[in-house]
Amino acid sequence: MADISTGNVRVEEFDVVIVGAGGAGLAAAVQTGQAKLKTAVISEVYPTRSHTVSAQGGINAALANMDEDYWIWHMYDTVKGADYLGDQDAIEYFTKNAPKTILELEHWGMPFSRTEEGKIYQRAFGGQMRNFGEDIAHRACAVADRSGHSLLHTLFERTLRPDIAPYVSYYSEYYAMELFRDEETGAAVGVLAWDMVNGGFHLFIGYAVIFATGGNTRNFRTNTNAHVNAGIGWTMCLKAGLPVKDPEFVQFHPTGIYGVGNLITEGVRGEGGYLLNSKGERFMKKYAPHVLDLASRDVVSRSMAMEVMEGRGVGPKKDHCLLKLDHLGRDFIMDKLPGIWELAYKFVGVDCTKEPIPVQPTAHYHMGGIPTNVNAEVVTYDGEKEIPVPGLYAAGECACPSVHGSNRLGCNSLLDLVVTGKLAGANAAKWIIEDKPVFPNPPIEFVADKYGKETIERVKAYFDGGPGTIKMDDIWEDMRDTMQENMSVFRIEKMMAKEVEILKGYEEKFKEVGLTDKSHTFNTELAEIFDLESLIYVSRVETEAALARKESRGAHSRDDYPERDDANWMKHTFATMGKDGNVEIQYVPVRTKPLTAPTFQPKKRVY
Ligand SMILES: Cc1cc2nc3c(=O)[nH]c(=O)nc-3n(C[C@H](O)[C@H](O)[C@H](O)COP(=O)(O)OP(=O)(O)OC[C@H]3O[C@@H](n4cnc5c(N)ncnc54)[C@H](O)[C@@H]3O)c2cc1C
């Protein structure tokens, strides 16, 4: 065990340090390993336990296996789904590269479900249309309802190939805490992590750092995220003086299991399932007469909330809706949606081949994130242009290349992981190999004198100090409730302003939190203290950015500004945490010019 009482820190040098081993981190590792760069992949959990494993529905690409389809239709849907806040150059790159990406995954062994002719099976998903909104498209390439599981294993196995494996070292069960930047150039130079199994610190130094830390909706009472999704990538950036982009846009997925939050994939509605209110009415007919239950997620979640608000909710509290799929038949459900059957049965005792599943909107995904350009480089904004941070990249859900704008379409995220993960890995490799950056670090034996001292002292104080006067759980529990109440599907100015003050209160209380478990072996309490701190940061930027955005767009819906306001708000939020602990906001124009395609001009979004 490394002895932290004497400040003993292990230091190791790499070419590339990747934080996160979900789909995005692994897609990056394939590239850096292939480029023969010494790569460290740090993950709080074993790679194949990352949240990507739980993705159900599929991954989008206009393969046209089931019906006519083109990337430009996929691009249009993504621009529209994003409520015109997505950057159209990034969206073009993303949708154009989708078919190639899927075929590469197939060649790497991803076991897609098949059509009768042996082609990759594709299902319908919300907001995915043919011919610029005319008809429903089948675009989500699926492996039954275990698409993320297959994707993650395919990518992981790829890194184990004999030509890649020697270059990729996994540091599983390491908890990353701090990003280091060179004082002079601002370049990323490494990361400090806690070895969860043995205790003690590990300083990972590299020419490039890639963040792939995933989502962060655990600050809401009802959410779909894994335990490890605490937004640490955002928080490490905020603490290092870097911005988070568009944090106000939190996606609520319409069909979380009532009372638990676990996800029931939109693929259920894609396969013909539909929502009902307490009167047994298929209420989506009213809100999205053309595509009904396959409208985009923000629209369906708001419709469900309206039904509940108007007294047509189900159950003793009249607070949820029902998802009916028994009419699809037992054989079909067990073949195409076996994981859904299991989830509903295990969590609420419902056999969905016979009865509907009780559902409610659940915090699911973050459209915003660490701002990146089309090379997956992390950027800041100088008032006129975006400036890349040397050596720092981000990919996957923690990043914001502005593909999803203010509302992500289902099955665009798995695609995002693979496309942006690959870009981050390939561009980091290119930078190291072609530009030959110089290490700004002191010789290895002195690195620990320069970096991480404050965090190490802080952890040492936790081990040396008492249990604290405030219990961590008290803040967690309260925060989940207040965020759920004040920052949910509908947003009200007074409540958001109240939440900002409540969050400041949590920040003060957090200072009184101590550590009760003093063990160095698997001290999950220590990790949770950092998770909690991180989610307070995340909540602050989410809430303040939402309060500042005086319009309704995508997932951000305000009662006092119910309309989208393109004249004033076609701009991205860049939020930083000032030294005095205040959130500072800059605005950056949306890039409406695609690479080669014509611009899709904003128009009213109807489904
Ligand atoms: C239940 C569910 C179903 C979904 N279904 C679909 C779908 O069908 N289609 C689709 O397109 N999208 C889907 N999504 C969204 C999509 O799966 C996620 O956005 C995506 O998997 C995120 O991948 P990632 O690689 O960015 O992060 P993750 O897979 O979440 O990985 C994050 C990594 O960061 C590491 N990490 C986090 N904190 C730390 C730390 N402090 N120290 C070290 N490591 C850390 C973790 O260990 C993990 O390895 C779904 C999401 C959920 C929650």
**Nearest CA owner, ligand 1 atom 9:** 411
pLDDT tier at 212 (50, 70, 90 boundaries)?
very high
- Ligand 1 pocket member 260 (CB < 6 A): no
Q: How many CB atoms lie within 10 A of CB 54?
A: 18
Q: How far is the CA of 41 from the centre of ligand 1 (A)?
A: 15
Please determine, for residue 152, whether its predicted confidence score (pLDDT) is greater than 80: yes
Alpha-carbon span 215 to 228, nearest angstrom: 9
**Nearest CA owner, ligand 1 atom 33:** 20
Q: Give the fold, CATH level 3, of 450-568.
A: Methane Monooxygenase Hydroxylase; Chain G, domain 1 (1.20.58)
- Ligand 1 pocket member 58 (CB < 6 A): yes
- Give CA separation, 568 vs 20, 42, 250, 552, in Å: 37, 41, 21, 12
Rounded to two decimals, the pTM is: 0.96
Average pLDDT (193-217) is 96
Q: Tell me whether strands 16-19 and 208-211 are parallel, antiparallel or unpaired.
A: parallel
Q: How far is the CA of 21 from the centre of ligand 1 (A)?
A: 9
> Among candidates 29, 189, 79, which has minimal Cα distance to 601?
79
User: In the chain, what percentage of residues exceed pLDDT 70?
Assistant: 99
Average pLDDT (252-263) is 93
Please determine, for residue 2, whether its predicted confidence score (pLDDT) is greater than 60: no
pLDDT score recorded for residue 579: 86
Please determine, for residue 441, whether its predicted confidence score (pLDDT) is greater than 80: no
pLDDT score recorded for residue 1: 46
166 class by beta-carbon count within 10 Å (0-12 exposed, 13-18 middle, 19+ buried): exposed
Q: Where are the domains of the chain?
A: 254-362, 450-568
**Candidate of 18, 42, 52, 533 to mutate for ligand 1, largest count of ligand atoms within 8 Å of Cβ:** 52
Average pLDDT (50-62) is 97
Q: How far is the CA of 232 from the centre of ligand 1 (A)?
A: 13
User: Which spans in 198-263 are helix H?
Assistant: 232-239
- Ligand 1 pocket member 419 (CB < 6 A): no
- Ligand 1 pocket member 24 (CB < 6 A): yes
Mean of all residue pLDDT scores within the chain:
95
- Ligand 1 pocket member 206 (CB < 6 A): no
- Ligand 1 pocket member 128 (CB < 6 A): no
Counting atoms of ligand 1 from 1, which one is nearest the CA of 396?
26
On whether the 254-362 domain is CATH 3.90.700.10, my answer is: yes
Counting atoms of ligand 1 from 1, which one is nearest the CA of 175?
42
What single letter denotes the amino acid at residue 525?
Answer: E
pLDDT score recorded for residue 442: 77
Counting atoms of ligand 1 from 1, which one is nearest the CA of 397?
26
- Ligand 1 pocket member 247 (CB < 6 A): no
**Nearest CA owner, ligand 1 atom 2:** 55
Please determine, for residue 324, whether its predicted confidence score (pLDDT) is greater than 80: yes
**What's the pLDDT tens digit per position in 572-599?**
999 999 988 899 999 999 999 999 999 9
pLDDT score recorded for residue 5: 61
User: In the chain, what percentage of residues exceed pLDDT 90?
Assistant: 93
Q: What are phi and psi of 346, to 5 degrees?
A: -75, -40
**What's the pLDDT tens digit per position in 533-566?**
999 999 999 999 999 999 999 999 999 999 999 9
- Ligand 1 pocket member 411 (CB < 6 A): yes
What single letter denotes the amino acid at residue 306?
Answer: M
pLDDT tier at 245 (50, 70, 90 boundaries)?
very high
The residue assigned the tokens 């809100």 is 287
**What's the pLDDT tens digit per position in 504-531?**
999 999 999 999 999 999 999 999 999 9
Please determine, for residue 180, whether its predicted confidence score (pLDDT) is greater than 80: yes
Please determine, for residue 447, whether its predicted confidence score (pLDDT) is greater than 90: no
Name the residues annotated as catalytic.
297
Please determine, for residue 7, whether its predicted confidence score (pLDDT) is greater than 70: no
> Among candidates 367, 417, 376, 378, which has minimal Cα distance to 243?
378
